[in-house]
């Protein structure tokens, strides 16, 4: 909308658009600010400088590496290293004596949450996720990691436990992949431990599906259920 000049078109009173009025008021407000302190509702603090929080000093996060992930770490080191150092501006190293991956902030680090993200990323990889999947943790803010055990859902022992794990996995992993595809999550099935990576709602869906499988529903039924839930979720958006 453009402002019409007053007295436009012979006898018409010009209507001032709301946007310009707001701009004018804002301008007047800033002018007023310099003149006297405005009685504001909330105190206005300037953004904190990175140095003030002690980022520059160098916080360290340590992620332990179990023996079975040692080789995969070695193989994927460059893929892990690159995004952390180049995109997040952090320092990373693998301490051979303590078998920890150590991440440290330095002067170049601009973002404060970078350290947490990097730590989560490395942890996800160590748990068993693929590097590309774990990379989503860096790129998206609202992804989470959930872990639980099969015995948390139902106390199973011996053969029953094995059968439950087998149900979750399916033949050639197809049940697990189906759940992953429908709910848009990533699942790691490590013997009796289950790790899920994804957004909050999706984690809930996947968890429900896996719990149903543990409790004994046939996979076809579980497919039907997650399909229904996923379609409802998709409809909403």
Partner 1 sequence: AGGKMAAVKGLETCLRVAGAAAARPERFLSVQDGLSSDFRALTKTLYDLNKALGSNIVRGGPLKELVIENFDEEQIWQQLELQNNEVLDFFKKSIARDAKDEGLCLLSDQEENDSDAETSSDQEFEDNIMDAETEQKNTKDKTKAKEKQSKLKESIMQKCSDEDSDLDFDIEALEKSIVDDKFFKLAEMEAFLEHAEKENREEEDDINYFEDIISDDEEEESEGATVKVRISDMNEMMVENMRSKEASKKVTFSLPDDSETEDITDTQLEKGSDPSEIKSSFEKRQEKMSKKIKSLEDELLKEKPWQLKGEVTGQKRPENSLLEETVLFDHAVRMAPVITEETTFQLEDIIKQRILDEAWDDVVPKEKPKEDAFEYKKRITLDAEKSKLSLAEIYEQEYMKLHQQKTEEEENPEHKEIQEMMDSLFQKLDALCNFHFIPKPPVPEVKIVSNLPAVSMEEVAPVAVSDAALLAPEEIKEKNKAGDVKTDAEKTPTDKKRERRKKKLRKRMKLREKEKRQKLLEKMKPEQGTKLNKKAAAAALKRLTKEGKVSLLKDEGKDKVLKSSQAFFSQLQDQVKMQIKDASKLKKKQKKQTATSVHKLKL
Residues that bind partner 1 (CB under 8 A): 130, 132-133, 135-136, 139-140, 143, 170, 173-175, 177-178, 180-182, 184-186, 197-198, 218-221, 223-224, 227, 230-231, 234
Query: Least CB distance from residue 192 to partner 1, whole Å?
Result: 22
Query: Least CB distance from residue 78 to partner 1, whole Å?
Result: 17
Residues ≥6 apart with Cβ < 8 Å to 183: 198, 202, 205, 206, 209, 226, 230
Roughly how many angstroms between the first and final C-alpha of the chain, as a whole number?
32
Distance CA 197, CA 118 (A): 15
* Bridge partners, residue 101, by sequence: 63, 94
Q: Which is nearer to partner 1, 91 or 178 (CB)?
A: 178
- DSSP per-residue string spanning 104-120: E--TT---STHHHHHHH
Query: Least CB distance from residue 139 to partner 1, whole Å?
Result: 5
Q: Which is nearer to partner 1, 91 or 130 (CB)?
A: 130
DSSP 8-state class, residue 171? G
Q: Which is nearer to partner 1, 56 or 72 (CB)?
A: 72
Query: Least CB distance from residue 207 to partner 1, whole Å?
Result: 16
Are the C-beta atoms of residues 214 and 154 closer than 8 Å to each other? yes
Q: Which is nearer to partner 1, 63 or 179 (CB)?
A: 179
């Amino acid at each position: 909308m453009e402002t019409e000049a007053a007295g436009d078109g012979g006898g018409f009173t010009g209507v001032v658009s709301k946007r310009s009025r707001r701009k004018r008021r804002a301008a007047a407000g800033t002018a007023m600010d310099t003149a006297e302190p405005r009685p504001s509702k909330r105190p206005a603090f300037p953004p904190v400088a990175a140095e003030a929080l002690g980022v520059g000093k160098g916080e360290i996060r340590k992620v332990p590496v179990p023996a079975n992930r040692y080789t995969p770490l070695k193989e994927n080191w460059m893929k892990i290293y690159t995004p952390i150092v180049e995109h997040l501006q952090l320092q990373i190293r693998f301490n051979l004596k303590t078998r920890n991956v150590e991440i440290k902030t330095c002067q170049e680090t601009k973002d404060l949450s970078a350290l947490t993200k990097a730590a989560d990323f490395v942890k996800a990889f160590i748990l068993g996720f693929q590097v590309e999947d774990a990379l989503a943790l860096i790129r998206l803010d609202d992804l989470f990691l959930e872990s639980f055990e099969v015995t948390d859902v139902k106390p199973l022992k011996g053969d029953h436990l094995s059968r439950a794990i087998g149900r979750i996995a399916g033949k050639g992993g197809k049940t697990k992949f189906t759940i992953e595809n429908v709910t848009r999550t990533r699942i790691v099935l490590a013997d009796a431990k289950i790790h899920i990576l994804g957004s909050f709602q999706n984690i809930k869906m996947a968890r429900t599906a896996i719990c149903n499988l543990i409790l004994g529903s046939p996979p076809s039924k579980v497919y039907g259920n997650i399909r229904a839930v996923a379609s409802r979720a998709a409809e909403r958006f």
